[in-house]
């Protein structure tokens, strides 16, 4: 990859205010750790996304996409290439009958609030999930026995070869924290949710109840990437970690949360290496104690192994 060529291509296609060179990823992830990316692009339109993807391809550079920066751990060394941040510039939400159409940058909380305002039920489960619609679609986000796949009709995506396609729920092949879009490197541009009419008071009560449950059980006051580990079949990751004696286990500024063992948190001074070491310690201890190998839900970017 030629970094100079990549920069010139990006600056020729986008407004300079949209392209941030050597931008610390710690400023753009909920873990609040991570070194600089060569170029962070903040698109204002689908055309801007396409321009950034084309520039990266021409320069032979890797291109990654984030929304709110949750569920990601970025190396302290940073990232080569381009990160495209889909945020408030691409966060429009439209309601048409029982369908909610949301652009990828719309937060799960804002989509849930829009559904509430329209008297539609079905997305309450996601109201407290950190992140955006794009990430929810890619990862098949879920909570309280409901998943994104249960309410989504289709997603509109940009393929690696530059085509804009509509992907049906069947084609998305959603599984546990997994989708076809993840496998194929599709960029989710928007999603259409199929919800149902409901009582606004009951919808609000459900959202308030879920919020209270999260606040009482999860370390929302600390920087994290959300739930760190996937749920192993037949087990709960948090209980396995607690049973292995890792509650409160600390490396540098990273810690297994005392409030919920399924969360690795940044106590304020963590590096990505601190977080990674805590994750490895947890995996080793749980395997030794119970024979279960925990897999991370958090995606690792920029690490050699």
| Domain segments of the chain as ranges | 3-85, 90-216, 219-301
Q: Residue 45 to residues 58, 84, 158, 189: CA-CA distances in angstroms?
A: 20, 12, 12, 10
CATH 2.60.40.10 fits 219-301, yes or no: no
Q: What residues act catalytically?
A: 177, 227, 297
**Fold identical between 3-85 and 90-216?**
no
Q: Specify the CATH number of the domain 90-216.
A: 3.30.465.10
Which tokens in the block code for residue 166? 């509509």
For 17, residues 6+ apart whose C-beta sits below 8 A from its C-beta are none
**Averages of pLDDT over each 10 residues, the chain, 305 residues:** 91 95 97 98 97 95 95 96 96 98 97 98 94 95 93 96 95 95 96 98 96 91 94 94 97 97 97 98 98 96 86
> What is the model's pLDDT at position 305?
65
> What is the model's pLDDT at position 148?
97
Q: Which fold has domain 3-85?
A: 3.30.43
Q: What is the pLDDT of residues 89-128, one digit of tens each?
A: 999 999 999 999 999 999 999 999 999 999 999 999 999 8
């Amino acid at each position: 990859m030629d970094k100079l060529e990549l920069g010139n291509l990006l600056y020729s296609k986008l407004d300079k205010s949209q392209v941030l060179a050597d931008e610390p990823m710690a400023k753009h992830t909920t873990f609040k750790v991570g070194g600089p990316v060569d170029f962070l692009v903040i698109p204002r339109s689908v055309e801007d996304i396409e321009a950034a993807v084309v520039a990266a391809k021409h320069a032979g550079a890797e291109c990654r996409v984030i929304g709110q920066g949750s569920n990601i751990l970025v190396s302290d060394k940073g990232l080569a290439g381009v990160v495209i941040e889909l945020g408030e510039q691409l966060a429009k939400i439209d309601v048409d009958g029982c369908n909610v159409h949301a652009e990828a940058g719309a937060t799960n909380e804002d989509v849930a609030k829009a559904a509430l305002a329209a008297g539609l039920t079905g997305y309450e489960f996601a109201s407290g999930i950190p992140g955006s619609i794009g990430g929810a679609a890619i990862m098949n986000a879920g909570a309280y026995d409901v998943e994104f796949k249960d309410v989504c009709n289709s997603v509109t995506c940009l393929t690696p070869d530059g085509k804009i396609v509509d992907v049906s729920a069947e084609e998305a092949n959603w599984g546990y924290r997994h989708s076809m879009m993840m496998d194929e490197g599709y960029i989710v541009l928007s999603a259409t949710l199929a919800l149902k009419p409901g009582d606004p008071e009951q919808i609000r009560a459900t959202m308030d109840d879920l919020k209270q449950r999260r606040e009482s059980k999860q370390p929302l006051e600390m920087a994290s990437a959300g739930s760190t580990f996937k749920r192993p079949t037949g087990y709960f990751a948090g209980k396995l970690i607690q049973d292995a004696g890792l509650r409160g286990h600390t490396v540098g500024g990273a810690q297994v949360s005392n409030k919920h063992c399924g969360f690795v948190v940044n106590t304020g001074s963590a590096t990505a290496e601190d977080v990674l070491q805590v994750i490895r310690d947890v995996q080793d201890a749980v395997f030794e104690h119970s024979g279960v190998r925990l897999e991370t839900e958090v995606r690792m970017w920029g690490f050699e192994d």
